[in-house]
Structure 1
Amino acid sequence: PWSGRPADALRDAFAEAPLPAWNAYGWIAFEFAAARPTGRLAHLVVPRTEVRIAEGRAHIGGPDADRVAGLLAEAAPVAGTPSPVDVRVDGDAYRAKVAEAVAEIHEGRYQKVIVSRRLDIPHPVDVIATYARGREANTPARSFLLDLGGLRATGFSPEVLATVDADGRVMTQPLAGTRAFGAGAETDARSRRELENDPKEVFEHAVSVRTALEELHRVCDPGTVQVTDFMTVKERGSVQHLGSRAVGVLAPDRSPWDALDALFPGVTASGVPKPEAIEAITRLENRRGLYSGAVVAASHDGSLDSALVLRALYSENGRAWLRAGAGIVGASAPAREYEETCEKLSSIAPYVVPLA
């Protein structure tokens, strides 16, 4: 049992880990940051055996290394033919939610909120084959494939939420502002120019970067927080984003879990100000769970790596679904925001492989 901040519970649990050296992997749900969190908030494990792939080689460590090496040697290529999922559904309902959010923004309740929609898949899915097919077509910041506690998911995260190295250097990479990508060089270049010069997209990105800097200031030494890359275009599968990079150095009394807690959930997956945006999301949507949460890797040496769970497929209790959202500000047009969700869903929807 625990009480207080969920991040403190994770910090304390790993501080009491019986192993002198460990690596942990898992996920954190969006509701981890809710004012009154409910349901499963996180699931992290310290594996007995690890396989790390680097420079085309697999490095295996742990008591089951020989057995795992044998399994890898016998592994066959992943089979499966995708059955693309139609993303252009539920448009009226989503556009109505966007219009409601825009009205609340004009009332002064918040500046920005990410409104998402869920797309149910009417058949079981092969999560591993979907990862294999989708990874070939995507250019993520991080990709992931997990099966923990009955929840299976795979995705191609466009965005690093927080990294902390063993020396306490923190980095976050907010992406906000979107246009389609992959329609050909001429069309992609035109979309890029639109993205870089659209006042709505630039404003959405700027307020996200400002919030990320404010959050870093809460946990980093004064004078170390800075933007090292501002509003450059990042290509991520079926879309291109405006992206920035902000860094800082943890204050001596702060831990990697404090950095994650300060930046979670990503401003680009929640809104500005965050508390008001999270409250709006709980009214406008059903429970998000893993969507817009994070996949996390942490280590005994104080390092931590986390990425937003976006552009993903989810499977639990015999059901499978996709989910995507768009950043809503006062200048948002519901039709354009719906189109943005279609563009993002297209990073994974064409690669969904049915379970044989």
Structure 2
Amino acid sequence: MSATFTVRLARPLGRIDAAAVAHALRDRPGALVLTASPEGGRAVIAADPDLTFAGAVADAAPFARLADPLWGSGVVGLASYDLGARPAVGRRGDWPDLMLARYPSMIEIDAGGRAIAVGRGPDAGAAVIARDRAAAWAVAPPPPPPAAAPSPHFAAEAPGEAYEAAVADVVARIAAGELFQANVARGWSGRLRPGADPFDAFARLRGRSSAYGAFWRLDDRALVSNSPELFLTLDRATRRVETRPIKGTRPRHPDPERDAALAEELRSSAKDRAENLMIVDLMRNDLARACEPGSVRVERLFELEAHPTVHHLVSTVTGRLADGAGPAELMAAAFPPGSITGAPKHQAMKVIAGHEPPRGPWCGSLFLMEEERFTASVLIRTAAFERRGGGWTWRTLAGAGIVADSDPAAERAETEAKIAALREALAGAQGV
């Protein structure tokens, strides 16, 4: 495996605005900016990958490439939801199963604006090159104010009543004993106005950034993600694995008292706690397939997290990765995330496929492979873009976990609360 060398920039550069650097690199091949920490304070920025892959992979070993030394570190990847669902539903989506990009150099920016240059190569000279590139990138001028809404409309792909009917069908299936829970989604899609770019949507999300937000452009595809959810993280030194599934949502409210009441309603909701616990059990079982026997445990249950548009109920499950295993084995054991499929996972994916077209990137995973750690998010709050006919089209989805006592109208309202930030970023309050 190629070594990774890290050096601090030789000269003090003061505070560095990750958005300014990202704006300067927005049109470069493989342009990337992502946050990869629970607090959202750490940004990773890169461009110009020296190795890429985008295509189909074998169902029998879907993540085998992650074990190839060519993809050892400095790698960003996307696993499409449909890659994980295909064994259950037997269909392939339009997006590649797997997309990978390896970067010779990156810069990391912490919450205080301090920068570190990271270079990958056979000797320490790679780090020097990374340092020089980072120094050049870091002097980017401040970005202009976000442009007008990049998409003139934010159009639902089906009426809300159709989603309510799908929820009612899943509730009936649960009552019949087919499954316990399924995360059923509804979609929105559109086209950017002439001259607009996926980065414009990312820039408009700037004030509502989440722990695992991202902008990533690879060839004629791009992702803009505002995800709050960690799928998997692996500390390579200690082999500690962590997952933090989200289940349970309430909208935020501008009135502080009403907002606090909504948070408390979520915290004490028996339905939401039961929904969360089902997925915790599922994730415990998934992690156990790749971790040392007896090492998987629930660290925290039903923690409340407040985000710009919603409150979430979050739990934490940890384990110790088995000797000889790595990101490839960990992803194979747990993908796709249980929080966006349901329980039992295989049956839930079949039920989902009966109500949705292929999801593509949405509810797949965006991951970062570094020498010290592996971090993968769940691609909720994510818009997928494709360049078509000289312009960009986009698609996004929002789902809700359906259980035995789900109310179709309430679940529809939950999807609308979850999509609020992306709705504003893409179409604006006046453009819907």
Q: Same fold (TM over 0.5)?
A: yes
Bigger RCO (CA 8 Å, 6+ sep):
1
SS at match of 2:376: strand
1:349 aligns with 2:423: yes
The equivalent of 2:186 in structure 1 is 117
Cα separation, 2, equivalents of 1:306 and 1:128? 21
For residue 73 of structure 1, what is the aligned residue in structure 2? 139
Match for 1:338 among 401, 405, 412? 412
Kindly indicate whether the alpha-carbon contact (under 8 Å) linking 1:82 and 1:351 is maintained by their aligned counterparts in 2.
Answer: no
For 1:205 and 1:223, the matched residues in 2 are separated by 22
Aligned twin of 2:165: 96
- Which residue of structure 1 aligns with residue 287 of structure 2? 216
Deviates more, 1:46-55 or 1:307-316: 46-55
Q: Which runs of 4+ in 1 moved over 6 A?
A: none
SS at match of 2:250: strand
Residues 33, 264 of structure 1: 8 Å contact kept: yes
Query: Does the CA-based 8 Å contact 1:169-1:249 persist in structure 2?
Result: yes
Q: Deviations over 1:293-352 (max 9, x none)?
A: 011011355x31000011122211331232111111111111000000000001221122
Distance in 2 between residues matched to 1:141 and 1:114, nearest whole Å: 22
**2-structure distance, mates of 1:233, 1:32:** 31
Contact 1:127 1:353 survives alignment (8 Å): no
1:291–1:310 CA contact under 8 A, matched in 2? yes
- Residue 53 of structure 1 aligns with which residue? 109
* Secondary structure at 1:154 match in 2: strand
CA deviation vs aligned residue, 1:127-180 (integer Å, no higher than 9, x gap): 223222213124x22111111242211111111000011121100001101100
Report matched runs for 1:305-324 at 5 Å.
Answer: 305-316=375-386, 317=388, 318-324=392-398
> Match of 1:202?
273
**Paired position in structure 1 for 2:353:** 282
SS in 2 for 1:285: coil
CA-to-partner distance for each residue in 1:228-263, whole Å, 9 max, x for gaps?
111011112211111111101011142222222222
Question: Matched residue of 1:108: which SS?
Answer: coil
C-alpha distance in 1 between matches for 2:396 and 2:225: 10
Q: Bigger shift: 208-217 or 37-46? A: 37-46
How many Å separate the matches in 1 of 2:144 and 2:82? 34
- The number of residues matched between the two structures is 348
Is the CA contact 2:241–2:319 (under 8 Å) kept in the aligned structure 1? Answer: yes
2:98 matches 1:42: yes
The reply to whether residue 244 of structure 1 matches residue 315 of structure 2 is: yes
1:257 corresponding residue in structure 2: 328
- 2:80 aligned residue: 29
Q: Distance in 2 between matches of 1:328 and 1:60?
A: 45
Q: Which residue of 2 aligns with 1:168?
A: 239
Answering whether residue 223 of structure 2 is matched by residue 153 of structure 1, we say yes
| Unaligned runs of at least 5 residues, structure 1 | none
**What is the aligned partner in structure 2 of residue 297 from structure 1?**
368
1:141 aligned to 199, 206, 211, which one?
A: 211
The secondary structure found in structure 2 opposite 1:219 is coil
The structure 2 residue matched to 1:329, chosen from 394, 400, 403, is 403
Contact map agreement 2:362 2:383 (CA 8 A) in 1: no
3-state SS, counterpart of residue 79 of structure 1: coil
Q: Distance in 2 between matches of 1:284 and 1:238?
A: 26
**How far did 1:183 drift?**
2.5
Query: How far is 1:37 from its partner?
Result: 5.7
Structure 1 Cα separation of the partners of residues 352 and 346 of structure 2: 10
How far 1:86 sits from its partner (Å)? Answer: 5.3
Which amino acid counterpart does residue 311 of structure 1 have in structure 2? R
TM-score (norm 1): 0.90
Kept in 1, the 8 Å contact 2:154–2:190? The answer is no
Q: Secondary structure at the match of 1:162?
A: strand
> How far apart, in 2, do the equivalents of 1:295 and 1:253 lie?
23
More deviation in 204-213 or 253-262? 253-262
SS in 1 for 2:139: helix
Structure 1 residue 117: Cα displacement: 1.0
In the alignment, the residues of structure 1 paired with residue 143 and residue 278 of structure 2 have an alpha-carbon distance, to the nearest angstrom, of 45
The question of whether the paired residues in 2 share the 8 Å contact of 1:226 and 1:247 is answered with: yes
Contact 2:201–2:425 (8 Å) recurs in 1: yes
Stretch deviating more after TM superposition (146-155 or 161-170): 146-155
Equivalent in 274, 292, 305 of residue 234 of structure 1 = 305
User: What SS does structure 1 have at the residue aligned with 2:397?
Assistant: strand
Offset at residue 68 of structure 1 (A): 5.5
Take 2:221 and 2:375, find their aligned partners in 1: how far apart are those partners?
21
SS at the partner of 1:192?
A: helix
Alignment partner of 1:225 is 2:303? no
Matched position secondary structure for 1:315: strand
d(CA) in 1 for partners of 2:313, 2:91: 31
Distance 1:9-1:222 versus aligned 2 partners, 3 A rule? closer
- After superposition, the Cα gap between the structure-2 partners of 1:64 and 1:141, relative to the gap in structure 1 and judged at 3 Å, is closer
The change in CA–CA distance for 1:339 and 1:64 in structure 2 (over 3 A counts) is same
